Amino acid sequence: MPSTTMRKTEQSRRLQQRAESMIPGGVNSPVRAFRSVGGDPLFVVRGKGSHIWDADENEYIDYIGSWGPLILGHAEPTVLDAIVSAACNGTSFGASTPSEADLAELVLSAFPSMQKVRFVNSGTEATMSAIRLARAYTKRKYIIKFEGCYHGHADPLLVKAGSGVATLGIPGSAGVPEEFIMFTVALPFNNLSAVEQAFQKYKHQIACVIVEPVVGNMGCVPAADDYLVGLRLITERERAVLIFDEVMTGFRVAFGGAQELYNIKPDLTTMGKIIGGGLPVGAYGGPKEIMDLVAPLGPMYQAGTLSGNPLAMAAGCAMLKQLRDRKAEIYPRLEKLSAELVEGVASGARDAGVPLSHNRVGSMFTWFFQQGPVSDWDSAAKSDTEAFGKFFGEMLERGVYLPPSQYEAAFLGAAHTEEDVQKTIQAAKLSFAAMRKK
């Protein structure tokens, strides 16, 4: 484990200066700019397994994994082979290819609540389309989301959102007219009476409830017991569409996602991240009764130049086949190693007298710099983000790359080793000690 000798950062800093002269903040997604943790954003040049290397040749144990997609680790051989062989036949045709049905078959077999699925290019497109579809199906206008949940950056969903919106402390987004969010109702997570009250207030007007069944975007926050089943019963009674946003949890918390883990059947499911194997893919799906409203079959329009791209389909198929064929080995190991890591760091914090609580579901987790418990946005927001920033920096100096925000989940993947975990726990203990001295 490196000591606290300062990492070399000249190359990343030079690249950041070049990038920010042409790209806002030098990044193509805000959270990568390290704004809430300080310091120079990394410019990553290579990844292999559970490790990445930056432009200054610093090596890190990576607990972001591209924000969830790389559950098998970086440059996984079968995924790379699939991409290369697909690319040798051309990169995109704007026409149907056999690989789209191949990936659809893999997704539908793992998610029995879905009879049909449409592939798009991001989680944002998936949730934006699912909302539109729920409104088309119910002919209602209102949608319910939850404070601290993030479902991508489509206008109607940028209300009290989590992830980068919460990280940057912006309530929503400039450029979204009030009229575009007047039908969005944002409620506290893990509070069923708030949902009941909303359905009474907007009787027969609510098209859908969209929820992260395990929240990753206020940090990791699981649903309270009976919360998800409560949402299911209320939406069934009120004939509203229940959308599980499984962009992060799909194939992550279980092979069949949170709906398998908690045995809840949503009406629509949105996906992304893992199903693309590291290439851009999103998806939304559900029963034929709803999905057959989607053009060209029905009147709900959604389209995409690169939707179903053959390289992305090939990468997704390779990844899902690995997860399918090795799930009896992979998921129990992710559970065991993640528990060891999260508890080990928590124990180090206790020994150092650092207030730390944590939430974990499978291999997604967050350490909150506060006493906890963290069960919704209000409690997550009580975290000491300054302490988190210091911890992030100390861990980076010791070769551990965590999400650069208190309000993001971290991820452990199948390529992480026992050695990675022990090094990370040791780095955390040294980091807590260093924080105490400052």
Closest CB to ligand KE4 among 120 and 427? Answer: 120
Phi, psi of 332 (to 5 degrees): -60, -35
Picking from 232, 230, 235, the residue whose alpha carbon sits closest to that of residue 199 is: 235
In 239-326, which ranges are continuous DSSP H helix?
Answer: 257-261, 288-291, 310-325
Nearest distance from C-beta of residue 84 to ligand KE4, angstroms:
24
Residue 273 annotated as catalytic:
yes
Closest CB to ligand KE4 among 61 and 253? Answer: 253
Nearest distance from C-beta of residue 275 to ligand KE4, angstroms:
11
Q: Report how far residue 116's alpha carbon sits from residue 288's, in angstroms, rounded to the nearest whole number.
A: 6
Task: State whether residue 56 is helix, strand or coil.
Answer: coil
Picking from 176, 164, 212, the residue whose alpha carbon sits closest to that of residue 29 is: 164
Nearest distance from C-beta of residue 374 to ligand KE4, angstroms:
16
Residue 186: which H helix or E strand, with range? strand 184-187
Catalytic residue among 273, 390, 420, 429: 273
Q: Report how far residue 294's alpha carbon sits from residue 33's, in angstroms, rounded to the nearest whole number.
A: 37
Q: Report how far residue 67's alpha carbon sits from residue 216's, in angstroms, rounded to the nearest whole number.
A: 10
Catalytic residue among 40, 62, 245, 267: 245
Task: State whether residue 11 is helix, strand or coil.
Answer: helix
Closest CB to ligand KE4 among 58 and 122? Answer: 122
Nearest distance from C-beta of residue 434 to ligand KE4, angstroms:
28
Closest CB to ligand KE4 among 257 and 310? Answer: 257
First-residue to last-residue Cα distance in the chain: 21
Residue showing the smallest CB distance to ligand KE4 in the complex = 123
Picking from 103, 92, 158, the residue whose alpha carbon sits closest to that of residue 304 is: 92
Closest CB to ligand KE4 among 123 and 393? Answer: 123
Residue 150 annotated as catalytic:
yes
Residue 2's region, left for phi above 0, alpha for psi from -120 to 50, else beta, is: beta
Q: What residues line the site for ligand KE4 (CB under 6 A)?
A: 29, 31, 67, 122-124, 127, 150-152, 163-164, 212, 216-217, 245, 247-248, 272, 282, 408
Q: Report how far residue 144's alpha carbon sits from residue 178's, in angstroms, rounded to the nearest whole number.
A: 16
Residue 202 annotated as catalytic:
no
Catalytic residue among 60, 137, 142, 150: 150
Closest CB to ligand KE4 among 47 and 123? Answer: 123
Q: Report how far residue 189's alpha carbon sits from residue 231's, in angstroms, rounded to the nearest whole number.
A: 11
Nearest distance from C-beta of residue 150 to ligand KE4, angstroms:
5
Nearest distance from C-beta of residue 268 to ligand KE4, angstroms:
13
Strands across the sheet containing 364-368: 357-361, 364-368, 410-411
Residues assigned a catalytic role: 150, 245, 273
